[in-house]
């Protein structure tokens, strides 16, 4: 395993700047064992050494703490001294060597608290009297030797807390070591255990590799192992000096994990643990300094003593009345002589599932089922439903099928039946890719329900599955009116939002979002991803409104990290937007991420559409062989979802375009668009049909585009796409240019670029020189933003990126010499570029150039 976790370059830069800013400066790197203090100090030393500094290592070790100048042995041993010279005499030689160029030297002292007194005094003298910069390191809670403590008191030491690795940095290090992506849930568990400590992360990963990392469609599954023996010994050594009171509190914190500081039973012991770097306060809470400390202590809690400690902690947690702490208390009780009831275990399974912890949800659900069997109680429908849903999301589809059958049988009331049928339906619609089966199952259960809230909730979901299956015209069974039960009210609103977005009904979509946001918290137990779905809906609405720049900024602000179950949904949405913005390389990266993430978690049914974006982007980028290969290997049901069918039609159209068969490409797009409009997808149909217009075949898609725009009059983007087709069909240069400008304002840059080229060509043929100049200038500006141009080669008379930069500066009335200096090119090159620009844009000087560029 190749392990690399280098310090961030910005941090190394900052420390180098601090050390070289003035004489006599020391930086003390503070943090727990393994956090990377030594690595960071070495990186700083390496940077300064490369810049010509003399690096003097001072190696503090526990074994040398009683040897005067023992830590200086390495630095003193290489001096040109008499073989019989004493350490003190050698120290004088070192001081004499460093004094003339103290600012060009660096002392590096690792584990400063372990310095012998003489070495500590020497370090102080070098820093204080000679002005030699110094990097020190110390573990949290350890005291510096007296000489260095004095240096600190004199204000010559700057303390820097070495921060844990951020999750994204740690994840990147793990995946580099594995040589590929990791399965998100197991990666998240590994990162939680390591808590940003690079040494712990590496050693846990090494142990996982020793046990066996398993491949899966969503990445390498990293097993959760016991602590490596060497790491367990180190932790035991750190805990060994604790007295009885401190040990008791450490055990309490180990089982409770985190708790309000005012609930800690021994405040004095907590202060002692904090001083020694074993515990910390985080806001108003108290916890052990690292999760592995808790793991080690908890593993040792066996027998009556362990039973007592866990029950003690459980009672404290239960006394708070807070669900999150009640959940933790039930986990503790499972390991005691007073285990939870079946109802409590079912509640814990539902709670874990609501917060997307599938592994824990499965464990609690199985315990609940076993508890019911042991106590001869009725099968717990809620636990069985959670078990089935968690198995489905985890990829165990056959086990999930059986568990859903059991859950539907065990349901004892309408609410339980509606929830079991809803989750079973999503299992069949999304995981089994069979929305028609989901709708049939949902309708079957719906026909048996009498409770209005349960019926409204399930009916909304049945309608979603019919929409996914292209059966939107069928009656969902009951009127989709808001229910009085707030917990069930969000699902019908999300259906309204979904139907409105696919249908291009912007006012209805905005109304659903507005009504849904106040219900997010109360509905979380029933509609777990309500916030994410409403946010994603708002993003799509912004795109339909032609507010692409605002949508992109909104997505960056609200999209979750890679470990969230909504990550794949957002990667898909952003990949689609970047594809239309003409940023094909970014679109491909995002679509690749979307497919990986949605194979792990897909609660929207977006995997097929994401694969379609990926294949279409491959084809648009010219990777036609891979695109054909991907199309040939798609599952037979890949086009069952209209959104996926549209994206795959675009992929086939790109391949036909590459063969010069634009009429056939347009026919493929027209057929797919018409079919999508029929089943309630006019907005997405217009996005795909637009490609035919870009290929110069507006007549093939005019009918479906007019139909889509009529059905979605408030979706500005759909109207712009229709206007593009109408203008190109008429060959109207000013209209084409106006559409190009409006598409660019909507950040639909790929089509805007093509519309500008079409306007320039139509204007040239019509003899409209002014329109042609403006159109070519717009095409040049947009070409610089594309990644690369989707229709490369069509812009032979467009400006190159360098010409565009020169043109903008010239239009701002900068002189040729100023342009040359600003861009770092010769005066002759500027003159040549301007000649080419004037020829391409058919202008005669800077004033006309300014008018064309705008």
Cis check: omega of the bond before 788, within 30 degrees of 0? yes
Q: Nearest Cα to 534, choosing from 575, 597, 579, 489?
A: 489
744 and 778 in contact (C-beta within 8 Å)?
yes
9-161 against 167-333: fold identical = no
Alpha-carbon distance of 395 to 387, in angstroms, equals 12
Strand order in the sheet with 258-260: 258-260, 285-288, 279-282
Q: Which long-range contacts (CB under 8 A, 24 or more apart) does 626-630 make?
A: 627/651, 627/654, 627/655, 628/655
Alpha-carbon distance of 639 to 646, in angstroms, equals 8
User: Burial letters for 359-387: b for 16+ Cβ neighbours within 10 Å, e otherwise?
Assistant: ebbbbbbbbbbebbeeeeeebbbbbbbbb
Residue with tokens 């392990």: 3
> What backbone torsions phi and psi does residue 285 show, to the nearest 5 degrees?
-105, 160
Helices (H) and strands (E) in the chain, counts: 42, 8
444 and 427 in contact (C-beta within 8 Å)?
no
SS3 assignment, position 447: coil
- The string of pLDDT tens digits covering residues 60-93 is 887 777 777 777 777 676 666 555 567 677 777 7
Q: Which long-range contacts (CB under 8 A, 24 or more apart) does 479-485 make?
A: 480/456, 481/456, 482/456, 482/515, 483/452, 483/453, 483/456, 483/457, 484/452, 484/453, 485/453
Tokens linked to 650:
């675009």
Low-confidence ranges of the chain (pLDDT < 50): 474-481, 790-796
Residue with tokens 């779905």: 533
Domain 9-161 has CATH 3.40.50.11270: no
Domain ranges of the chain: 9-161, 167-333, 379-593
617 and 587 in contact (C-beta within 8 Å)?
yes
Q: Give me the count of residues in the chain.
A: 854
**Given the DSSP bridges, would you call strands 279-282 and 285-288 parallel, antiparallel or unpaired?**
antiparallel
**Cα Rg of the chain, angstroms:** 33
Nearest 10 degrees: Cα torsion 243, 245, 249, 250: 10
**What is the reported pLDDT for 211?**
95
Alpha-carbon distance of 522 to 486, in angstroms, equals 7
Residue 64 is classified by DSSP as: G
Q: Residue 374 CA to chain centroid, in angstroms?
A: 43
**What is the reported pLDDT for 832?**
81
Angle subtended at Cα 270 by Cα 268 and Cα 273, rounded to the nearest 5 degrees: 115
Burial tier of 131 (Cβ tally within 10 Å: 0-12, 13-18, 19+): middle
**What is the reported pLDDT for 477?**
43
**What is the reported pLDDT for 796?**
46
Q: Nearest Cα to 252, choosing from 138, 328, 161, 324?
A: 328
**What is the reported pLDDT for 801?**
67
SS (H, E, C) 139-187: ECCCCCCHHHHHHHHCCCEEEEECCCCCHHHHHHHHHHHHCCCECHHHH
* CB atoms inside a 10 Å sphere around CB 337: 10
> What backbone torsions phi and psi does residue 614 show, to the nearest 5 degrees?
-60, -45
Q: Is 467 left (phi over 0), alpha (psi -120 to 50) or beta?
A: alpha
Which residues, in sequence order, are CB contacts of 187 under 8 Å at separation 6+?
171, 174, 175, 219, 222, 563
Tokens linked to 303:
């027998």
**CATH of the domain spanning 167-333, picked from 2.30.30, 2.120.10, 1.10.510, 1.10.10:** 1.10.10
CATH code for the domain defined by 379-593:
1.25.40
**What is the reported pLDDT for 478?**
39
Alpha-carbon distance of 502 to 498, in angstroms, equals 6
Q: Nearest Cα to 139, choosing from 34, 280, 236?
A: 34
- What is the helix (H) or strand (E) element at residue 710, kind and residue range? helix 698-711
SS (H, E, C) 500-562: HHHHCCHHHHHHHHHHHHHHCCCCCCCCCCHHHHHHHHHHHHHHHCCCHHHHHHHHHHHCCCC
């Amino acid at each position: 395993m190749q392990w690399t976790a280098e310090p961030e370059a910005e941090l190394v830069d900052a420390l180098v700047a601090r050390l070289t800013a003035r004489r006599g400066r020391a930086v003390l790197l503070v943090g727990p064992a393994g956090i990377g203090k030594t690595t960071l100090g070495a990186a700083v030393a390496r940077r300064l050494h490369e810049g010509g500094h003399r690096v003097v290592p001072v190696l503090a070790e526990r074994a040398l703490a009683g040897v005067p100048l023992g830590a200086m042995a390495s630095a003193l041993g290489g001096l040109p001294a008499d073989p019989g010279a004493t350490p003190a005499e050698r120290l004088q030689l070192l001081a004499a060597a460093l004094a003339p160029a103290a600012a060009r030297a660096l002392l590096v002292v690792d584990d400063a608290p372990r310095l012998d007194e003489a070495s500590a005094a020497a370090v102080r003298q070098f820093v204080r009297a000679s002005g030699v910069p110094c990097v020190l390191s110390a573990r949290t809670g350890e005291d510096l030797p007296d000489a260095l403590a004095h240096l600190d008191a004199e204000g010559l030491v700057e303390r820097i807390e070495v921060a844990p690795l951020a999750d994204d940095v740690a994840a990147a290090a793990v995946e580099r070591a594995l040589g590929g992506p990791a399965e998100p849930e197991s990666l998240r568990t590994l990162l939680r255990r390591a808590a940003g400590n690079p040494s712990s992360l590496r050693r846990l990963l090494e142990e996982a590799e020793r046990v066996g990392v398993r491949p899966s469609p969503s990445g390498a599954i990293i097993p959760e192992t016991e602590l490596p023996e060497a790491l367990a010994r180190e932790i035991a050594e750190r805990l060994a000096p604790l007295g009885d009171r401190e040990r008791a509190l450490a055990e309490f914190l180990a089982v409770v994990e985190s708790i309000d500081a005012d609930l800690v039973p021994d405040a004095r012991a907590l202060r002692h643990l904090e001083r020694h770097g074993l515990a910390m306060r985080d806001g108003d809470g108290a916890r052990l300094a690292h999760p592995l400390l808790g793991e080690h202590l908890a593993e040792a809690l066996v027998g009556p003593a362990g039973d007592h400690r866990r029950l003690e902690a459980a009672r404290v947690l239960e006394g708070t009345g807070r669900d999150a702490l009640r959940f933790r208390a039930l986990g503790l009780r499972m390991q005691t002589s007073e285990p939870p009831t079946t109802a409590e275990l079912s509640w814990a399974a539902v709670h874990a599932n609501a917060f997307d912890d599938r592994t824990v949800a499965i464990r609690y659900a199985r315990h609940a089922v076993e508890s019911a069997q042991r106590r001869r109680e009725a099968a717990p429908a809620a636990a069985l439903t959670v078990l089935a849903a968690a198995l489905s999301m985890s990829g165990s589809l056959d086990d999930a099928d059986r568990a859903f059958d059991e859950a539907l049988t065990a349901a004892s009331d309408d609410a339980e039946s509606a929830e079991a049928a809803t989750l079973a339906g999503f299992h069949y619609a999304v995981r089994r890719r069979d929305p028609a089966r989901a709708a049939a199952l949902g309708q079957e259960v719906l026909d048996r329900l009498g409770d209005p809230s349960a019926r409204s909730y399930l009916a909304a979901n049945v309608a979603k599955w019919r929409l996914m299956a292209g059966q939107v015209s069928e009656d969902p069974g009951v009127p989709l009116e808001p229910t009085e039960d707030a917990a069930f009210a969000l699902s019908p609103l999300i259906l309204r939002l979904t139907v409105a977005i696919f249908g291009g009904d912007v006012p209805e979509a905005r109304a659903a979002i507005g009504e849904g946001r106040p219900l997010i918290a109360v509905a979380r137990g029933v509609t777990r991803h309500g916030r994410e779905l409403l946010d994603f809906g708002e993003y799509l609405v912004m795109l339909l409104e032609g507010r692409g720049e605002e949508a992109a900024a909104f997505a960056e602000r609200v999209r979750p990290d890679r470990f969230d179950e909504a990550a794949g949904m957002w990667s898909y949405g952003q990949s689609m937007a970047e594809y239309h913005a003409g940023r094909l390389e970014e679109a491909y990266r995002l679509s690749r991420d979307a497919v990986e993430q949605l194979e792990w978690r897909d609660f929207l049914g977006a995997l097929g559409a994401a694969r379609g974006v990926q294949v279409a982007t491959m084809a648009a980028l010219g990777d036609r062989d891979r695109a054909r290969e991907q199309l040939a290997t798609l599952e037979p049901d890949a086009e069952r979802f209209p959104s996926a069918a549209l994206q795959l039609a675009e992929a086939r159209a790109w391949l036909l375009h590459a063969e010069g068969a634009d009429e056939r490409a347009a026919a493929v797009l027209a057929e797919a668009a018409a079919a999508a409009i029929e089943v309630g997808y006019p907005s997405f149909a217009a996005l795909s049909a637009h490609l035919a217009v870009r290929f110069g075949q507006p007549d093939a898609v005019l009918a479906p585009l007019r139909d889509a725009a009529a059905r979605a009059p408030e979706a500005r983007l759909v109207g712009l796409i229709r206007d593009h087709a109408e203008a190109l069909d008429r060959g109207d240069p000013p209209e084409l240019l106006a559409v190009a400008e409006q598409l660019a304002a909507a950040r639909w840059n790929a089509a805007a670029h093509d519309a500008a080229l079409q306007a320039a060509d139509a204007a040239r043929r019509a003899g409209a020189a002014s329109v042609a100049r403006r159109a070519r200038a717009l095409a040049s500006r947009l070409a610089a933003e594309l990644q690369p141009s989707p229709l490369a080669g069509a812009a032979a008379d467009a400006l190159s990126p360098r010409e565009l930069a020169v043109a903008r500066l010239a239009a701002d009335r900068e002189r040729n010499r100023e342009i040359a200096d600003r861009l770092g090119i010769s005066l002759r090159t500027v003159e040549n570029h301007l000649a080419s620009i004037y020829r391409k844009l058919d202008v005669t000087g800077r004033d006309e150039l300014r008018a064309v560029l705008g």
